[in-house]
Amino acid sequence: MTGSFKTQMLHKGDFLREWQTIEDGSIDLVICDPPYGELRRVHDWDNKPDFAVVSSILNHLLRSPTGQVAVFSSAKMLTEVETAFSKYFDRRFIQIWQKPNAQVMHKDRPKPDVEFVSVFHRKGCKKDQRVFNWEDVAQQGKPYSRANRNLQQTNLHAKKRAIDVNATGLRYPSSIVHHPNRPAMTSAEKAYGKHQAQKSLQHIINLIRLLSNPGDTVLDPFMGSGTAILAAIMTGRRAVGWDILEEFVAMTAKRIEMETAQGVLI
């Protein structure tokens, strides 16, 4: 374990071997951004895990019945992730992350400018038990009041109202989100080191706000540059994370230390 910032813990080691140090049923949300195995020729750490094993472990750790998992994946991994997690979890929705500056990887296909976030909840979790704080991530627009021209068309399994009223101006979240990837991230996000698969801080903040509540515990089993750990602390959650490389654990510790010094954390 490296460092202790408030209530979060950073671990240098293999989560798949050390997960039993976490109390069963103590995790509210998992942000799972695993190695995709697509960069292993140049990065020794990029070894894709066995998702059946990951799913089984998270089944032990997630709080019942409300625990949720958000799993990042490439297009080719979607079916593999779905199959592995379906034993213990039901898929709730898929979010599509569109990247503005994706690189051409193959000359015989379009550039991979999207990644996917599959969100799962425990089997048997009732609809009214599932955390979905959409107002915390909604974009602010103008309030409106407008007539519906086609009242026969259904909306949310019910007939439309004659007049739609949005008094707050908040816009419901979309399944497609737009956030930068490296190298288009802000200089502040890249200041403490380099990780090829680093995710946007704002993207992870939004996921954590959407799928958990303040005071909840967030786990990141494949920590990398520590974005999920930092985002959890910034939004008032507890956090615990693992990475197999000391340099990435140190990078995460440095990011938290510097952001704490600047008074950014909640």
What fold does the segment set 2-137+173-261 form as a domain? Rossmann fold (3.40.50)
* Per-residue confidence (pLDDT) for residue 81, from 0 to 100: 97
Cα–Cα distance, 84 to 3 (Å, whole number): 33
* Per-residue confidence (pLDDT) for residue 44, from 0 to 100: 72
What torsion do the CA atoms of 253, 196, 194, 176 make, to the nearest 10 degrees?
Answer: -70
* Per-residue confidence (pLDDT) for residue 70, from 0 to 100: 98
Strands 8-12 and 238-243 turn out to be parallel
Residue 109 pLDDT class (50, 70, 90 cuts): confident
Convert the pLDDT of each residue in 68-102 to its tens digit.
999 999 998 999 999 999 999 999 999 999 988 77
Which residues make up the CATH 3.40.50.150 domain(s) of the chain?
2-137+173-261
Q: Is the pLDDT of residue 197 over 70?
A: yes
Residues whose CB falls within 8 Å of the CB of residue 254, separated by 6 or more in sequence, listed in order: 192, 193
The structure's pTM equals 0.87
Q: How many other C-beta atoms can be found within 10 angstroms of the C-beta atom of residue 164?
A: 12
If we measure between CA atoms, which residue out of 257, 187, 247 comes closest to residue 223? Answer: 247
- Does a cis peptide bond (omega within 30 degrees of 0) precede residue 183? yes
Convert the pLDDT of each residue in 140-173 to its tens digit.
999 989 887 777 666 666 677 788 888 999 999 9
Q: DSSP for 37-96? A: SSSTTT-TT-----HHHHHHHHHHHB-TTT-EEEEEE-GGGHHHHHHHHTTTEEEEEEEE
Q: Is the pLDDT of residue 62 over 90?
A: yes
